[in-house]
């Protein structure tokens, strides 16, 4: 279980996130305008860097949109390879009104998703967005609270332009190859679910718990040979 100190820190961050991602207390000496400008400059640099890194993937999405731009009112799935490798997404959700859009890009982080929220979610005007990301953030050394911060920025970016869109977060999965990260994964899922409890019209989808065996370890049969990615069967059942 997360410590009391971590829980209190999470509550503080949640409050800040719900207040339009306010600046932390150590920026108190700055004016609101200066803080906003600093955040905007940072996000701009990060966005341009991410856009260069994911140039090929973004170009592929742009080509797909030129061939057939998704109608508004559908469901957008966005996130890392768990979404990208869901090749049967359209078939698995064939009866979903408005259809589904797959905007997963392998190796991406929740931080990337927050930077591309307008590019990969808002522009399609969906009635719901389902996001899976976070484990790559942890693998790169980010903390659970930093992952929460990225998700809060993602949610704020979506709600700023689509206030009625439902936001669904699929919990970070317990991959066997990242078993050493299970404490951080549990804490990430805990703080994000706590955030969603305060966010109207949202939901936390728990796939972490059913992917553990009676011994508390990841169920190997749910994963591919790389011990990182889910099998097609496990993916198809994951958000149902």
Position 194 scores a pLDDT of 97
Is there a contact between 68 and 92 (Cβ–Cβ < 8 Å)?
Answer: no
> What is the rounded distance in angstroms from the CA atom of residue 188 to the CA atom of residue 185?
5
> What is the rounded distance in angstroms from the CA atom of residue 190 to the CA atom of residue 231?
25
Name the one residue in this structure whose structure tokens are 């064939």: 94
DSSP string across 10-72: HHHHHHHHHTTSPPPGGGTTS-HHHHHHHHHHHHHHHHHHHHHHTHHHHHHHHHHHHH-PPPT
Position 84 scores a pLDDT of 86
Looking at the whole model, is its pTM more than 0.85?
no
Position 227 scores a pLDDT of 64
* Domains within the chain, CATH numbers bracketed: 4-11+72-238 (3.40.50.1110)
Position 183 scores a pLDDT of 95
Position 233 scores a pLDDT of 63
Radius of gyration of the CA atoms of the chain, in A: 18
Supply 37's token pair: 């400008």
Q: Hey, how many other C-beta atoms are within 10 angstroms of the C-beta on 47?
A: 16
Is there a contact between 189 and 202 (Cβ–Cβ < 8 Å)?
Answer: no
223: nearest Cα among 190, 178, 185: 178
Name the one residue in this structure whose structure tokens are 């699929």: 170
84: nearest Cα among 57, 52, 50: 57
pLDDT tens digit at each of 240 positions of the chain: 344 334 434 444 444 444 433 333 333 344 445 545 555 656 788 999 999 999 999 999 999 999 999 999 999 999 988 888 887 888 888 888 889 999 999 889 999 999 999 999 999 999 999 999 999 999 999 999 999 999 999 999 999 999 999 999 999 998 888 889 999 999 999 999 999 999 999 999 999 999 899 999 889 888 887 766 777 666 554 444
78-to-37, 103, 161, 192 alpha-carbon distances in Å: 28, 5, 17, 17
Specify burial of residue 32 (Cβ count, 10 A radius: 0-12, 13-18, 19+).
exposed
Is there a contact between 205 and 169 (Cβ–Cβ < 8 Å)?
Answer: yes
Cα 18–chain centre separation: 17
């Amino acid at each position: 279980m997360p410590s009391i100190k971590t829980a209190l820190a999470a509550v503080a961050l949640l409050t800040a996130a719900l207040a339009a991602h306010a600046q932390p207390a150590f920026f108190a000496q700055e004016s609101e305008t200066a803080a906003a400008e600093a955040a905007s400059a940072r996000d701009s640099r990060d966005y341009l860097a991410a856009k260069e890194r994911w140039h090929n993937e973004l170009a592929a999405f742009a080509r797909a949109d030129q061939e057939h731009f998704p109608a508004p009112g559908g469901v957008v799935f966005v996130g890392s390879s768990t979404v990208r490798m869901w090749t049967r997404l359209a078939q698995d959700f064939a009866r979903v009104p408005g259809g589904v859009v797959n905007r997963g890009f392998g190796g991406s982080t929740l931080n990337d998703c927050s930077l591309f929220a307008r590019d990969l979610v808002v522009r399609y005007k969906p009635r719901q967005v389902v996001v899976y990301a976070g484990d790559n953030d942890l693998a790169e050394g980010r903390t659970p609270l930093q992952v929460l911060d990225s998700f809060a920025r993602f949610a704020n970016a979506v709600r700023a332009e689509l206030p009625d869109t439902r936001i669904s977060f699929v919990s970070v999965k317990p991959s066997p190859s990242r078993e050493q990260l299970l404490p951080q994964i549990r804490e990430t899922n805990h703080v994000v679910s706590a955030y969603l409890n305060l966010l109207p019209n949202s939901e936390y989808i728990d796939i972490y718990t059913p992917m553990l065996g009676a011994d508390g370890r990841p169920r190997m049969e749910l994963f591919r040979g790389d011990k990182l990615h889910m099998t097609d069967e496990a993916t198809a059942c994951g958000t149902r």
